[in-house]
Amino acid sequence: MNPLKTLSAALALLPALATAGELQVAQGRFVDRDGATVVLRGFNLSQQHKLPPFRPNNDPLLFQKLAAIGVNVVRLQFNWEAYELSPGVYDDSYLDYYAGVSARAAASGVYVIVDIHQDAFSRWTLDGCGEGFPRWAIPAGTRLSEPDNGSKCWFWPLRVMAERSEIEAVFNAFYTPGNPARERYLVLLERLAQRFADQPHVIGFDLLNEPLGDAGLLAQLYLDGIERVRRHDPDAIAFVEPEMLTGSGLETTKLARMPISNLAFAPHYYDATIYASVWLGGRYEPVAARNRELAKTWGAAVLLGEFGTPSFLLAPNYIKMIYDDLDNFGDSATQWSWTPEWTPQNLDGWNREDLSVVDDKGRLRNNYRERPYARRTAGAYGSFKVNFAGLFNPASARFRWSHNPAQGVTEIFVPDSFLGGRAPVVNAPADVRCTFSRERRVLACRSSQTGVKEVVLK
């Protein structure tokens, strides 16, 4: 039986008739209630969500700090192990914690994507190097190990490759309809949707982080999962990911077109050499082009859900390559990760990963750089180009778009660091009026005339 030809597929289409939420997907873009194009930029939050006690992100100023550097979205990891202690037995304090983090994001104007997160299934799989799902959800007959997540787990994606058939068998058993743990996962989605249905800043659900296994079974899980979500939150955006190993750019997804409305395609990207703090010049652009083409055929927006690098000599070049492409096409993205618990000794604190963009003193590392971007476009996004200050040239940015006056204001975020804290000098057509808010760090441009507009700031 083709899993896409089911009642779940039909039900997944129904929410297109519902009242629009805070953000929706239309014509392959995230749009707000006025139909303006919104570009989402932000981070995945702390790696410490993967390990007991599963409750990081307690800084009361966290989201003010993030908003100040232009963040308007976070992909907030939800740990199933922390919540459902045994089948049907819940630790509601964990959900309250998670909802509290989400509420603090909303207070600073930051959107939230609920991310059902796991890596290689569970802390008891992949030789103790995985995380995410409860031990009781592991299919019978699976080889178990005591949780480790320490130094032996460095370069854990290589372990996934070496144990691929074993790990994929675990996922396939979990995906199979009739598996009790699969039903508990669907109930989990319902409980989360019920909790967040009346919170419009929670824009959607990333249904499963970095899945492995059979694409047909995975597609059916996505269909069943979003149907359960939309019983309670009909406006929720469905963020669906391809198989984990497509994130290297060396494999392409086997997922067929997903017949889901209000859909975002949410792939990841990590150059295969990055974990070793090496970049041999592999390019993100052709991978991104394939992702955009696939999303176009699905009628989906694109969110690059994860990407990142350790801090090393070529990290600035590697990250700039990705952000330049995102800006050129107006793709949304959440970099991995903002982990303020990072230390020189323990790094991110999980599997010896070293991808945090902040250090133990809250300073940005060289694997991230503040940059301007067009966060809201009144009309159709064109292209955004950033030039950082060099020895012989000042910093500048250029945004070109097709303006629709009915959609209001086009907004460009301009971080303090880009122009040394001063207000931008703006070159714009005579019919375009721009004002800069120092408090919000936003250049707002208006025009009463339709047509292609270009703004240069320097």
- Give, in order, the Cα–Cα distances in Å from 332 to each of 43, 73, 89, 428: 11, 10, 36, 25
Quick: pLDDT tens for 244-274: 999 999 899 999 999 999 999 999 999 999 9
Please report which confidence band the pLDDT of residue 18 belongs to, taking 50, 70 and 90 as the band edges.
very low
**Residues 201 and 282 reside in one and the same domain:** yes
Asked, as a colleague might, if the bond just before 337 is cis with ω within 30 of 0, I would say yes
**Residues 411 and 361 reside in one and the same domain:** no
Domain CATH number, residue 435: 2.60.40
Residue 127 structure tokens: 């030789």
**Quick one: what percent of the chain has pLDDT higher than 70?**
95
**Residues 383 and 301 reside in one and the same domain:** no
Residue 381 structure tokens: 């996004």
| pLDDT for 4 | 37
Domain CATH number, residue 64: 3.20.20.80
Cβ contacts of 16-22, under 8 Å, gap ≥ 24? 16/261, 16/262, 18/234, 18/235, 19/235, 20/235, 21/200, 21/203, 21/235, 21/236, 21/237, 22/111, 22/200, 22/201, 22/203
Distance CA 199, CA 21 (A): 9
Task: Tell me what percent of the chain is helix, strand and coil, each rounded to the nearest 5.
Answer: 30, 25, 45
- Number of domains, the chain: 2
Say if CB 265 and CB 302 are below 8 A apart. Answer: yes
Q: Is residue 19 part of a domain?
A: yes
Quick: pLDDT tens for 48-78: 999 999 999 999 999 999 999 999 999 999 9
**Residues 167 and 252 reside in one and the same domain:** yes
Quick: pLDDT tens for 370-380: 999 999 999 99
Please report which confidence band the pLDDT of residue 23 belongs to, taking 50, 70 and 90 as the band edges.
very high
Which of 317, 342, 369 corresponds to the end of one domain?
A: 369
Tell me which residue range forms the domain holding 161: 7-369
Distance CA 284, CA 270 (A): 9
Residues 6 or more apart from 35 whose CB is under 8 A from it?
Answer: 26, 404, 406, 407
**Residues 384 and 286 reside in one and the same domain:** no
Which of 369, 389, 412 corresponds to the end of one domain?
A: 369
**Residues 223 and 345 reside in one and the same domain:** yes
Quick: pLDDT tens for 142-161: 999 999 999 999 999 999 99
Q: Is residue 1 part of a domain?
A: no
| pLDDT for 392 | 86
Which of 369, 401, 418 corresponds to the end of one domain?
A: 369
**Residues 69 and 161 reside in one and the same domain:** yes
**Residues 206 and 163 reside in one and the same domain:** yes
Tell me the H-state helices in 231-337. 285-298, 315-329
pTM greater than 0.85 (yes/no): yes
| Residue 189 host element (H or E) | helix 180-196
Distance CA 319, CA 340 (A): 19
**Quick one: what percent of the chain has pLDDT higher than 90?**
94
**Residues 77 and 205 reside in one and the same domain:** yes
Say if CB 40 and CB 254 are below 8 A apart. Answer: no
**Residue 13 reports pLDDT greater than 60:** no
Q: Is residue 80 part of a domain?
A: yes
Please report which confidence band the pLDDT of residue 3 belongs to, taking 50, 70 and 90 as the band edges.
very low
**Residue 36 reports pLDDT greater than 80:** yes
Name which of 410, 249, 250, 239 is nearest 332 in CA terms.
239
**Residues 172 and 272 reside in one and the same domain:** yes
**Residues 338 and 237 reside in one and the same domain:** yes
| pLDDT for 21 | 59
When pLDDT is averaged across residues 11-22 and rounded to a whole number, the result is 40
Quick: pLDDT tens for 308-347: 999 999 999 999 999 999 999 999 999 999 999 999 999 9
| pLDDT for 103 | 98
Q: Is residue 2 part of a domain?
A: no
| pLDDT for 20 | 39
Name which of 403, 399, 429, 428 is nearest 414 in CA terms.
399
**Residues 110 and 43 reside in one and the same domain:** yes
